[in-house]
Amino acid sequence: MVVYFCGIYYFLHILLIGTFRNDRDILMIGTLEAMVSIYKAYFPADTVIWQSRCKFHITFFGLKGSGGCMSERNLEEFLQETGYDSSKTLVLYDNRENLLSSRAWWIFSHYGIPPEKIKVLDGGWKHWVANGNPVVTECEEIESAKMDITENKIARIQLCAGNKLIGLGEVQTLLSERDGIFIDTRTEEEFSGQFLFGNARGGHIPGALHFEWINGIDEENNDTFKSEDQMREEFPELWENQPDLDTPIVSYCQVGIRAANVAFMLEGVCGFKNVKVYEKSMQEYLNREGMHVE
């Protein structure tokens, strides 16, 4: 099978889709919202619909409410149920402008799954359908018992929390040392404090640059990611700071979802090597006393 990757390892163009349907080395995971209830259609063959499985539907949507990342144990259980082992490549897709799939990529990567083993399908469901690729209307039931899943397989994954997600303490350290660049990926209204989003106060981290996450998505090309050249045009303020590729960059939003999308773009498209997501983001920062805002 021939697979073409964009960037270094991070995301996948829709090429030779027919081979995917018969290739058991690829496991496609839908990180979906309305698709399950509205479209009632899925990718064919070896496909797992992450959020249509009740347990993980709750876990993933809990991220939006709590800003907390699923635990290593929950992720291991999920992978075990899907039949994943370290020989497979995960391909993530969504129906939300790559928003949820890039967030899921960031979580998997945080827990140690290497970039050559996890991809985001560029443009997701929209790009897939627009290119005339096949879908099915019934999702094949996946039963762990029928897949000969063993503890040895899951052990070889060796999930271990890394440093792609950071907390308030690390944010405070970077701010006090004036080290790194903070990027606010929310709307202009949230960034300026006009819209509180339920927080105790409005505003943003002092000195943060503003780049709304949707501006990294090419809506005229089926919601695919923009290129590095396009990103430089959309977000010149970042490059005006003359960061080298190892400069610490912290992306944040309200609860870490939009932030992960931009972090994925900065690492996977633009080549930055030291990108973090402030996991609890403004849901935590703007509701803590003593935290400075602008």
Q: Express each pLDDT in 137-178 by its tens digit.
A: 554 444 443 444 444 444 445 577 788 999 999 999 999 999
Q: What share of the chain is helix, strand, coil (3-state, %, to 5)?
A: 40, 15, 45
Smallest Cα–Cα separation from 281: which of 108, 165, 179?
Answer: 165
Identify the burial level of 88 via C-beta atoms within 10 angstroms of its C-beta, where 0-12 means exposed, 13-18 middle and 19 or more buried.
Answer: buried
Band (pLDDT 50/70/90 cuts) for residue 23 is low
Cross-strand partners of 94: none
pLDDT digits (tens, 9 = 90+) for 39-88: 344 454 444 433 333 233 323 333 343 446 777 877 787 777 777 778 77
Same fold yes or no, 5-157 and 165-285: yes
Q: How far apart are CA 259 and CA 252, in angstroms?
A: 5
Are the C-beta atoms of 240 and 266 separated by less than 8 Å?
no
**Per CATH, which fold does 165-285 belong to?**
Oxidized Rhodanese; domain 1 (3.40.250)
Q: How far apart are CA 84 and CA 98, in angstroms?
A: 22
pLDDT digits (tens, 9 = 90+) for 90-120: 888 888 899 988 998 998 899 888 888 888 8
Four-way CATH pick for 5-157: 3.40.250.10, 1.20.1250.20, 3.40.50.2300, 3.40.50.920: 3.40.250.10
Boundaries of every domain in the chain: 5-157, 165-285
- Parallel, antiparallel or unpaired: strands 217-218 and 209-210: unpaired
